């Protein structure tokens, strides 16, 4: 029996479609930028030979790794399932010969006869739910895989129901700020993931995850079964170098964009389940993870954080705190410097992020300044053009709530370029240069 999967493109802030990309706003001049944003997300697709052939756009196109990924995704698909909104948008924009060439089952509340198109695509309209659509899709897939084509709501329904076996995300170093999130509404702890493969291409990072099937033991304890062994290639040298004297941010983020779990407060600084974001640093740390951490900390000479992060972190950090270097806190509250053991002095800066950075640079000497958080402080430095590098440890978990790293980030004027990446079992370590 074939697998159930989805394969989508996603922006770094978690969107699979920009604001305005729907029939209600397609011709609205107030949402004129959606097409250019969409093209940025899909840029890696447009120049591929298989894409051009499938849409009958003429000869030519690239034939490398990205082209192979597109073709393999198409060849493994025996049938597709999509939501009504995706179908309605495609009905307007797809060519007469729709690009699927297989049966497609549309989740809807509207009774409608099958719609046959040239080239082998027939749309069937299913009114009795996602499981019925999946059953019907299996009957005509003939052992091939079933793709949940979208949109986000259809994907989410299948994920939360435990019906997805694996998925791939083409992660693009772009920001939308607003739009349709892929994982908005995921049920925390409902979906467990493991990294299967990470493929690096010039424009995107291809992330392939397996969904770990969970089951109940007689005692009621939830266990997980891993569907396969993982194989990782470690390329630490690609992560090293070029750090000295820069302003960087380094933070762990869940696949759905959170840097904490929900209910962050003093005494629960990482929120509910948020500690899982740092497993790769501690209990699940590999030699490669340890080397990455050593390299990061050796290159930093000072740290900048926000007042909120200081408030929730001060007590659990203890004395000596884990920094081992000067820490500058952006705040509105004037306080005397607070010296701690181990080389850390907390200095409270009341006149803004640039003043904090100037002090941190002076303290760091020829080493980096680390903008460590929280999310609001990182966004401020990124938006102000003061950040040189953004390092994200992408963790294969879905938290479903908490503090988003890129919440409401205005993407105007921000351009990233992926510098390097390393995959380990607990994280995909991504490093982006901020284009000045």
Domain ranges of the chain: 4-225, 236-434
Q: What angle do CA 197, 198, 200 make, to 5 degrees?
A: 150
Q: DSSP label at 19? A: T
Instruction: Give the pLDDT band (50/70/90) at residue 72.
Output: very high
Q: What is the pTM of this model?
A: 0.91
Q: Please name the fold of domain 236-434.
A: Dihydrofolate Reductase, subunit A (3.40.430)
User: pLDDT digits over 138-185, tens only?
Assistant: 999 999 999 999 999 999 999 999 999 999 999 999 999 999 999 999
Count the residues in the chain.
436
User: pLDDT digits over 91-103, tens only?
Assistant: 888 888 999 999 9
State the chain's mean pLDDT as an integer. 91
Q: DSSP label at 78? A: E
Q: Distance between CA 300 and CA 295 in Å, rounded?
A: 9
- Average the pLDDT over 84-110 and give the result: 92
User: pLDDT digits over 11-68, tens only?
Assistant: 999 999 999 887 777 677 777 788 889 999 999 999 999 999 988 888 899 999 999 9
What percentage of the chain exceeds 70 in pLDDT? 93
Instruction: Give the pLDDT band (50/70/90) at residue 399.
Output: very high
User: pLDDT digits over 357-398, tens only?
Assistant: 999 999 999 999 999 999 999 999 999 999 999 999 999 999
What does the pLDDT read at residue 214?
A: 61
Q: Distance between CA 320 and CA 282 in Å, rounded?
A: 18
What does the pLDDT read at residue 28?
A: 75
Q: What Å distances lie between residue 310 and 324, 338, 348, CA to CA?
A: 15, 12, 10
Higher pLDDT, 43 or 190: 43
Sign of the four-CA dihedral 150, 152, 155, 161? negative
145 in Cβ contact with 3 (< 8 Å): yes
What does the pLDDT read at residue 228?
A: 40
364 in Cβ contact with 343 (< 8 Å): no
344 in Cβ contact with 329 (< 8 Å): no
pLDDT score of 346 more than 50: yes
- Average the pLDDT over 403-427 and give the result: 94
Q: Please name the fold of domain 4-225.
A: Dihydrofolate Reductase, subunit A (3.40.430)
* Same-fold call for 4-225 versus 236-434: yes
What does the pLDDT read at residue 354?
A: 98
Q: What Å distances lie between residue 109 and 125, 130, 142, 293, 401, CA to CA?
A: 9, 12, 27, 51, 30
* Distance between start and end Cα atoms, the chain: 50
Q: Which two tokens stand for residue 332?
A: 């509105």
Over the Cα atoms of the chain, what is R_g?
Answer: 23
Buried b (16+ CB within 10 A) or exposed e, 348-386: bbeeebeebbebbbebbeebbbbbbbbbebbbbbbbeeb
């Amino acid at each position: 029996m074939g697998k159930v999967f989805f394969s989508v493109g996603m922006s770094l802030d978690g969107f699979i479609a920009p604001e305005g990309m729907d029939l209600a706003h397609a011709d609205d001049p107030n949402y004129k930028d959606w097409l250019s944003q969409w093209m940025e997300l899909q840029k890696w697709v447009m120049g591929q030979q298989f894409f051009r052939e499938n849409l009958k756009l003429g000869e030519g196109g690239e034939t490398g790794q990205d082209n192979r990924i597109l073709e393999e995704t198409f060849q493994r698909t025996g049938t597709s399932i999509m939501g009504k909104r995706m179908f309605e948008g495609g009905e307007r924009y797809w060519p007469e010969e729709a690009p699927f060439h297989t049966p497609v089952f549309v989740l809807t509340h509207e009774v409608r006869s099958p719609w046959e198109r040239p080239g082998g695509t027939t749309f069937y309209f299913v009114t009795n739910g996602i499981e019925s659509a999946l059953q019907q899709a299996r009957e005509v897939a003939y052992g091939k895989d079933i793709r949940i084509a979208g949109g986000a709501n259809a994907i989410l329904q299948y994920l939360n129901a435990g019906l997805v076996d694996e998925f791939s995300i083409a992660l693009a170093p772009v920001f939308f700020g607003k739009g349709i999130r892929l994982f908005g509404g995921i049920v925390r702890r409902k979906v467990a993931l493991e990294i299967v493969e990470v493929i690096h291409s010039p424009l995107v990072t291809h992330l392939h995850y397996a969904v770990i099937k969970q089951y109940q033991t007689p005692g009621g304890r939830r266990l997980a079964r891993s569907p396969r062994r993982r194989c990782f290639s470690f390329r630490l040298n690609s992560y090293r170098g070029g750090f000295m004297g820069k302003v960087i941010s380094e933070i762990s983020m869940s696949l759905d964009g959170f840097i904490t779990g929900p209910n962050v407060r003093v005494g629960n600084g990482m929120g509910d389940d948020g500690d899982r974001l740092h497993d790769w640093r501690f209990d699940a740390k590999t030699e490669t993870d340890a080397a990455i951490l050593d390299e990061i900390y050796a290159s930093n000479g000072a740290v900048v954080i926000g007042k909120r992060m200081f408030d929730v972190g001060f007590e659990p950090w203890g004395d000596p705190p884990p920094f081992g270097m000067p820490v500058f806190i952006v705040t509105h509250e004037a306080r005397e410097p607070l010296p701690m053991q181990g080389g850390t002095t907390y200095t409270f800066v009341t006149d803004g992020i640039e003043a904090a950075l100037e002090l941190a640079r002076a303290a760091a000497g020829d080493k980096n300044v680390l903008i460590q958080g929280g999310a609001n402080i990182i966004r401020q430095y990124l938006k102000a053009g003061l950040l040189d590098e953004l390092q994200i440890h992408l963790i294969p978990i879905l938290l479903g709530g908490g503090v988003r790293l890129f919440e409401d980030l205005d993407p105007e004027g921000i351009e990233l370029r992926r510098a390097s990446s390393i995959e380990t079992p607990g994280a995909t370590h991504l490093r982006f240069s901020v284009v000045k």
